Amino acid sequence: MEILNGKELSEKIKNDIKLEVEQLKAEHKIVPHLAAVLVGDNPASQSYVRNKVRSCEKVGFESTLIRKDESITEEELLDIIQDLNDNDGVDGFIVQLPLPAHIDEQKVTLAISPEKDVDGFHPINFGRMTQGLDCFLPATPYGILKMLEEYQIKTEGQNCVVVGRSNIVGTPMSILLSRKGYPGNATVTLTHSRTRDLSSILKTADIIIAAIGIPNFISSDMTKEGAVIVDVGINRVEDASRKHGYRLVGDVDFDSYMDKSGYITPVPGGVGPMTVTALLLNTLKSAKLKI
Ligand code: BQF
């Protein structure tokens, strides 16, 4: 298997972003500014937000982290979102998901101004995406497209099987791969928990996007020789030998692909870093609209 190295590619793209930010600063006095709202103390969410803030620092963006206790009311959170919408100094912002059960995520997503929705979750951006209009693409699918492009993976006419139908990964990914152009023009099958005989569908796939959230769910005996395997899963599994008592594994049994041909993304270091970098690209795009 050839490795699709998301970590390495994300460093390369971040370096390009950094150079562009230096130019924006020098020529237009513009410094892109990303804000993040983190509610509660979910360890995974804290780590994701840390990655985002650290990446901002690396490329020369300004960043603001707004931390709130999980007892925050929906109304208070919507007020914070309104302030960020109105703040001309902020180019884009994200509200880290998941939110506590008493807050309606849909309501929160709808409250974010589509012009600052650098996560690309607002239905305006989703709708614009489906029609091929200019928009903020959702970060994970955007990062995957960048990776397929960099490694010149053929998508036209290829059978692509997406596993998982979430609003933020599976569903948009299926739309993006079936759109006209590159990377697109694929024949896409969107599968999910109610799909019958997933194994035989997977056997037809030239490209697999695994976004199910079940550790090691897909193994090499279920897929064909030479397939491109994109593993979106980031699952914490207990591992007493590790510093924090857990390690990250994907939705794909990576080790089972040792002796196969094709391409595979590792976890960690595959899609994850590309997701964060895609968020930076969206924020840069938003900032450049000020010119
Ligand atoms: C890596 C995310 C599920 C639900 C909400 C690098 C990240 C992860 C892994 C990261 C993710 C996953 C993020 C690695 C952001 C990706 O080295 O493999 C970076 O920070 N991500 C998120 O913000 O919300 C999620 C997954």
Question: pLDDT tens digits, residue range 13-40?
Answer: 999 999 999 999 999 999 999 999 999 9
Ligand 1 pocket, mutate which of 3, 37, 50, 51 (most atoms under 8 A from CB): 51
| pLDDT for residue 57 | 98
25 among known catalytic residues: no
Give 12 Cα–ligand 1 centroid separation in angstroms: 18
Ligand 1 pocket, mutate which of 3, 10, 48 (most atoms under 8 A from CB): 48
Shortest-distance Cα residue to atom 2 of ligand 1:
48
Give 28 Cα–ligand 1 centroid separation in angstroms: 32
91 among known catalytic residues: no
Give 280 Cα–ligand 1 centroid separation in angstroms: 14
Candidates 91, 96, 158, 206; catalytic one: 96
Determine the straight-line distance between the first and last CA of the chain, rounded to whole angstroms: 44
| pLDDT for residue 13 | 98
pLDDT, tens digit, 9 for 90 and up, residues 211-239: 999 999 999 999 999 999 999 999 999 99
| pLDDT for residue 198 | 97
88 among known catalytic residues: no
**Which residues, other chains included, contact 251 with Cβ-Cβ below 8 Å and sequence gap of 6+?**
163, 210, 211, 212, 213, 214, 215, 216, 217, 218, 231, 232, 233, 235
Give domain limits for the chain. Answer: 29-113, 139-272
Residue whose C-alpha is closest to residue 109's, from 78, 83, 135: 78
Shortest-distance Cα residue to atom 16 of ligand 1:
272
Residue whose C-alpha is closest to residue 101's, from 73, 65, 122: 73
CB contact at 8 A, 218 and 198: no
Helix axis angle, 43-59 relative to 6-28, nearest 10°?
A: 50
The count of C-alpha atoms lying within 13 angstroms of the C-alpha of 233, restricted to the half-sphere facing its C-beta, is 28
| pLDDT for residue 203 | 98
pTM attached to this predicted model = 0.98
Candidates 14, 52, 116, 146; catalytic one: 52
CATH code linked to domain 29-113: 3.40.50.10860
| pLDDT for residue 103 | 98
Was domain 139-272 assigned CATH 3.40.50.720?
yes
Q: Quick check: bond before 43 cis, omega within 30?
A: no
Which two structure tokens, joined as six digits, stand for 234? 């980031």
**Which residues, other chains included, contact 53 with Cβ-Cβ below 8 Å and sequence gap of 6+?**
36, 63, 65
Residue 89 φ/ψ, nearest 5 degrees: -80, -10
Ligand 1 pocket, mutate which of 147, 166, 275 (most atoms under 8 A from CB): 275
| pLDDT for residue 199 | 96
Sort strands 235-238 and 246-249 into parallel, antiparallel or unpaired: antiparallel
**Which residues, other chains included, contact 135 with Cβ-Cβ below 8 Å and sequence gap of 6+?**
120, 124, 125, 128, 129
Q: Which residues of the chain have pLDDT under 70?
A: none
Amino acid identity of residue 36, one-letter, is: A
Give 199 Cα–ligand 1 centroid separation in angstroms: 27
- Please say whether the dihedral angle defined by the alpha carbons of residues 178, 181, 183 and 186, taken in this order, is positive or negative: positive
Sort strands 207-210 and 159-163 into parallel, antiparallel or unpaired: parallel
Candidates 91, 117, 119, 231; catalytic one: 119
Residues enclosing ligand 1, CB less than 6 A?
48, 51, 97, 234, 267-269, 272-273, 275-276
Amino acid identity of residue 2, one-letter, is: E
Same fold, 29-113 and 139-272: yes
Helix axis angle, 170-178 relative to 123-130, nearest 10°?
A: 30
| pLDDT for residue 243 | 94
**Which residues, other chains included, contact 154 with Cβ-Cβ below 8 Å and sequence gap of 6+?**
none
DSSP 220: G
